[in-house]
Structure 1
């Protein structure tokens, strides 16, 4: 824009006109709830040069939220909050019928409540009300946020007192006022789980995941509910997604292991030798080696020498894998103590890793990187 009283140049003027045109269209689209158009106009205004305006990023956040793109909306509102509002919009400027800054807080409250950040939502909507107490949308949002936050805290209180049926009703009350709240669905699913209503728990988890597909808590709850219904295949499927996302979570690893064993058992496969977790087991002698590698499931054998630097370097990583992949048998063969096994297996270099599945060797790696070792293990794990 022009500075020190100088006329803005033609380019700036065109920029300003373009921004105003898109802004006008955004306001029209917002009025009729056409969020797809609203988002398009918003993006166009930002591209036309208004990338300093907090209000536009707040508008973008609101449109994304209404289109159920929660993570994108969260990014946009945090961008809006970082931009200094006073530089781009004055306190008494109007925006979409809001006092400018109150719109920012109004959208912030919407994003916060969608993510289950109830305290943040309350504080934002209070700020909006202080600036803009005459605005109908702000007042309605204030009432709504308070009601939803109260329902959630009452639900939590009842849940912690073991009153699961009452907690269910409280969360349900919150959902009447905010039907797209993944946190309330997930909380109600926890109540259903406690009440032994597994199918209803799964339904609520599905709703939560529809709203927020990467809501791992809801996925974990669904995996456990499937397990309770002995639907092992779906339980394992959910746990597999969780394992990829939360590789070092032991609750997930343990749940996955038990579901996996139950699935194999339900198919009539032998699971008598499958154990959870433990340490890397040292093997001695040909007989012990042959028995161990013939076990059902996956076994990983680390051929190593105690004084070899590369073996020493990779050993802690193998220990970590042992914890992360509890359904896999991790074994080691010291080649200096087991010359017969070493010769039999034709091991010339250490560290060598061999993966066996249900008694058959499926992979051999010499001096693998951490990444290759883990990805190969993943490939055969289930």
Structure 2
């Protein structure tokens, strides 16, 4: 049988809500050509079947495969958003629906989903307190969401909670310090930026974001040589970042004057 024949069988099974059979047919079709653009619809259909069965992690995998072969198609991003929402990963679902809208800005179904997600995230953030967060990741997620809304001081409080809940000097803890530094950077609290970046760098001396944010803070305090050294360190670790190259040039000019 051909890909189209397998797909038709899968569609017929899906229509009568025989999702397990539909998955089997879509899988047979995908196996014939798993990386073609045409397989995008098959991954999308299988994701829909898996979602109907409550197998959301597998549906997410298929949605990502759909995006891989057809990145500019709405369906993959939509299926990803639905799977993530079902897994209660609201912030990631929000981004997936936003990506879907980039492909079809007028799509009403996606707009409706995104509006609902935005309301749920807002409600969650309003109800959340640092003490209500019982894991570092829970605090990080709220912090990230608040940061995205421009609520930098509130976000910093949740990153502080993530730090408090993290035992040992783990890479995640370094990230939380760097995240809190980003909040201080937005409010131009440069000395606090430097303090948090140094905590991150004690854990990971090659923490790129820690070095970069400290460079920006040093530059804000007109400590040109220290800023230059950090920018150069970032350049060595992660070459090609245009904002870093520009920072190097600014500091070099400042040290010559």
TM-score, reference length from structure 2: 0.47
Name the TM-score, length of structure 1 as normaliser: 0.32
Bigger proportion of residues as strand: 1
| Structure with the greater alpha carbon radius of gyration | 1
